[in-house]
Amino acid sequence: MAPAQLLYAGIAHNTRVLCEHNASPSSKASSLLSVILPKLQHTAPEHKTLDVDPYFAHYHTLAPSAFPAGQASAGGLTFLVVSEKSLGQRIPFGFLASLEKRFFEDFDPASTDFASLPSFGCGSFNTVMGRLMNQMGETESGQRDALKTAQREIEGVREIMTENIERVLERGERIDLLVDQTDRLGTTARDFRVRSRGLKRRMWWKNVKLMVLLCVVVVFLIYLFVGFGCGLPAWGRCLGH
């Protein structure tokens, strides 16, 4: 049985093919590129495998947000490879990682405006891509290299995921702290309301007592004033005695 192979590879900017290599013309794998490209978005980098029976189509899309402003045109690039299903995913994605690195060595994003290139504007890269496909798709050592490259990609993604999880956990700790502070603030507010109501009642009773005392004093003063006029303590002047 012949070894599983990488059948077709292509690099495109949005829907415009810049270069390609078809290692198996009889497979008609090259026709898949024109079908897949219009469906791809470049809002965020993406690695994905499509089941296009009897093959797998693996692609890696870039996004402008991943590049400096002067290199934003590289964000419209798509790297795609079609392979036999028996080859799995790790070797094709390892190939795509190596393909992207090698492509940018020849076409530096800092000095290349990919948006202005015509169809097959990077045709000089076809031969390089073919050699890389043969090396990584057909030979045992090449497949090992592809697996190592894929493993490095996985490790890189794992590190990014770990950092994101740590940030989420840290954010969770901050949220817990904020919740605790909010609970304490709520408890303090409730205590303040209770103390305020108690203070209000005490002030009300104090005012009542002051009013009663004031009334008693006024009545007593009136009593004294009238009493002195009527001849206290006998009240003789007022009683007619």
SS3 6: strand
Assign 28 a pLDDT band (cuts: 50, 70, 90): confident
Q: Is the pLDDT of residue 118 over 90?
A: yes
| CA 45-50-52 angle, 5° bins | 150
Give the domain-ending residue among 125, 160, 195. 160
Query: Tell me, what's the pLDDT at 125?
Result: 95
Q: Is the pLDDT of residue 18 over 80?
A: yes
For residue 173, being part of any structural domain is answered with no
**19 shares its domain with 131:** yes
**147 shares its domain with 231:** no
**132 shares its domain with 218:** no
The span from the CA of 157 to the CA of 81, in Å, is: 21
| Percent above pLDDT 90 for the chain | 38
**43 shares its domain with 152:** yes
Higher pLDDT, 61 or 33: 61
DSSP one-letter code for 107: S
**156 shares its domain with 216:** no
**21 shares its domain with 117:** yes
| CA 218-221-225 angle, 5° bins | 140
Residue recorded with tokens 């740590």: 166
For residue 193, being part of any structural domain is answered with no
Q: Is the pLDDT of residue 148 over 60?
A: no
Query: Tell me, what's the pLDDT at 67?
Result: 93
Query: Tell me, what's the pLDDT at 48?
Result: 92
Mention every residue, 6+ apart, whose C-beta is less than 8 A from residue 67.
74, 75, 109
Q: How many domains does the chain have?
A: 2
Domain span at residue 218?
Answer: 209-241
For residue 235, being part of any structural domain is answered with yes
In the predicted model, what is the mean pLDDT of residues 212-216? 89
Long-range contacts of 132-135, Cβ-Cβ distance < 8 Å, separation of 24 or more: 132/95, 132/98, 132/99, 132/102, 133/6, 133/9, 133/21, 133/23, 133/81, 133/95, 134/23
DSSP one-letter code for 43: S
Give the domain-ending residue among 126, 160, 194. 160
For residue 46, being part of any structural domain is answered with yes
**19 shares its domain with 133:** yes
For residue 24, being part of any structural domain is answered with yes
Residue 93 tokens, joined = 């994605």
**13 shares its domain with 126:** yes
For residue 11, being part of any structural domain is answered with yes
**32 shares its domain with 107:** yes
CB of 19 closer than 8 Å to CB of 101 = no
Count of all residues that appear for the chain in the document? 241
Dihedral sign (CA 48, 51, 52, 57): positive
Q: Is the pLDDT of residue 173 over 70?
A: no
**111 shares its domain with 229:** no
Note if the bond before 38 is cis, omega within 30 degrees: no
Average the pLDDT over each of 48-62, 78-92, 104-118, 193-207 and give the range with the smallest value.
193-207
For residue 111, being part of any structural domain is answered with yes
**32 shares its domain with 141:** yes
pLDDT (tens digit per residue) in 64-94: 998 998 999 999 999 999 998 888 888 899 8
Give the domain-ending residue among 125, 142, 160. 160
User: What global pTM score does this model have?
Assistant: 0.58
Q: Is the pLDDT of residue 116 over 90?
A: yes
Higher pLDDT, 132 or 150: 132
User: What is the chain's Cα-based Rg?
Assistant: 43
The span from the CA of 173 to the CA of 182, in Å, is: 14
For residue 99, being part of any structural domain is answered with yes
**14 shares its domain with 127:** yes
Count other C-beta atoms under 10 Å from residue 152's C-beta.
12
CATH classification of the domain holding 61: 3.30.450.50
